[in-house]
Chains A and B, each alone.
Chain A
Amino acid sequence: MHKTPLLDKLESGPWPSFIKDLKRVAKRKKSVADLLGVLERSYKDKITHWKHGGIVGVLGYGSGIIGRYTDLPEEFPGVEHFHTVRVNQPSGWFYTTKALRELCDIWDEHGSSLLNVHGSTGDMIFLGTTTDQLEPCFAKLTAKGWDLGGSGSAMRSPSCCVGMARCEWSCYDTMDLCYEATQHFQFEMHRPSFPYKFKIKCSGCPNDCVAAVARADMSVIGVWKDDIRIDKAAVKAYAGGELKPRGGGSPYAKLDIKADVTDLCPTACMNYDGKTLKIDNKNCNHCMHCISLMPMALRPGTATGATLLLGSHAPILEGAQMSWVIVPFMEMEHPYDEFKELVGNITEWWSEHGKNRERVGELMLRLGMREFLKGVGLEPVPQTVKTPRANPFFFWHQEDFDAEAKGRKYIK
């Protein structure tokens, strides 16, 4: 074992210490002992000690494994190779102990035993192995029914919130859509063919528990289009303090329905006169605030589906973006043919026009919403913008003039 005075300080304090965990594994894994050594060195030097890049993989796939080599191989031979294997997670991250034991046994035999549960895209991450172990590890995984996740300029592993498995607000079966999308786009996941990465995330309601709006090129967010269901007796119980706000998760002991709920409604479409709660559903924008505070009294409607948003990505290159609405409402019923077709159209349009390493959101900014909508076969609708353009630099096509000359006011 290497001496690790700086890392040792991270063993104190109440939070579970990753150093303690690593040290436990390091007793039987040389690679982890050297990982601690290299990390201590990085703490001292304040610089990473991993070399640039690394291209490794398994035959048949162009993605799923991230190669890594230390730049101090003589000193820390255990991490000379330290590749990461992305294993596609089950929808909603539900496991049986049998499944987890299976994964741990495979990784204990072929890798460092270290896991990241889970990577931020959703994959189960196997941290650290050597090139010669990749194929045998992959063979064992597939024999047990597991597969690799995505990496590189490909469809990445879709992920979802727990959805209908454990949540009363889920407006569609997120786990089913996530699984279906994963199966449908297997080729695109394993064999990078896009200009850059593409991610799908599925949230059951606008609370967006997988942060789809910020971390997925295609964000699928559950929503309803009829009325919020109100249980009058439960509203009374919240007003009287018998029911705790937010399932007990709020600092308030007793809900002041006017101050805490209706006055905070972003569209001011709610009214409470001390007895009856009224919602003007036509003006509700489905922000979830009232439902989140009074889960026993208010429920989403029953005509449910999802809003599709596109384009979020981290800052590189053109600045961070959140996804914006492209389809205000789509029904989400198995086998999701309309959704799959649209995603296919979008990736096809993007692959045809996108520059190298240009995310789909950046391509939309470069070519404009009109080209995008035309390219993927969608109609322009007011919900796709927050406000109309503030400048007059509108581009007219020749056919626009021709149509106007013939007396048509608007053309589709």
Chain B
Amino acid sequence: MAVVEHGGKSFEVDEDGFLADLDGWGPEWVDYVKELEGISELKEDHWKVINMLQEYFKKNGIAPMVRILSKVTGFKLKYIYELFPSGPGKGACKMAGLPKPTGCV
């Protein structure tokens, strides 16, 4: 596990740049990830997605299916890709501090 420093904080990450633990998450993490994920400016809708993912994960212990993310936020998948160019898995989940998606990806 590597450690990255940003905004005076340090974060433990794996080789894909996912946070080792959601407890280590902070707003500085979001600021750090946005550059890597091709996001120039964070809007309210970005935070809506991030907050939803974190709430769902804390409640259920897993990331939501794409369709649930769309339904709860009211954002179509196309718009989620506009917000997060790498998509809900690599982009939004990484930013929200959720564990790395697994399975045949």
Contact = CB atoms under 8 A, between A and B. Distances in A.
B103 A192 contact: no
A11 to B, nearest CB: 32
Contacts of B40: none
A106 interface: no
Interface in A337-353: 351-352
A357 B87 CA distance: 18
Contact of A61 (B15, B37, B87): B87
Contacts of A187: 78
B89 A191 contact: no
Given A62-B87, A187-B78, A192-B87, A55 B101 contact: yes
Nearest to B81: A191
B90 A56 contact: yes
Contacts, number: 71
Given A54-B16, A56-B90, A193 B101 contact: no
Q: Identify whether the interface residues of B are mostly helix, strand, loop, or mixed.
A: loop
Contact of A67 (B16, B65, B85, B86): B16
A153 B65 CA distance: 10
Interface size class of A (residues with CB under 8 A): 20 to 34
A192 B77 CA distance: 9
A192 B81 CA distance: 11
Interface string B63-93: 0011100000000011001000111111000
B88 to A, nearest CB: 7
Nearest to B69: A193
A191 B104 contact: no
Interface string A53-79: 111110111110011010000000000
A356 B16 CA distance: 23
A66 B104 CA distance: 8
B66 A151 contact: no
Contacts of A195: 65, 67
A197 interface: yes
A59 B65 contact: no
A187 B100 CA distance: 23
Nearest to A55: B16
Interface of A: 51-57, 59-63, 66-67, 69, 81, 151-153, 187, 191-193, 195, 197, 351-352, 356-357
24 contacts: A52-B102, A53-B16, A53-B105, A55-B16, A55-B89, A55-B100, A56-B16, A56-B90, A59-B38, A60-B85, A61-B86, A62-B87, A62-B89, A66-B105, A67-B16, A151-B104, A153-B103, A187-B78, A192-B89, A193-B67, A193-B77, A352-B67, A356-B65, A357-B103
**7 shortest A-B CB distances, which residue pairs?**
A62-B87, A59-B85, A152-B105, A55-B16, A59-B38, A193-B66, A193-B77
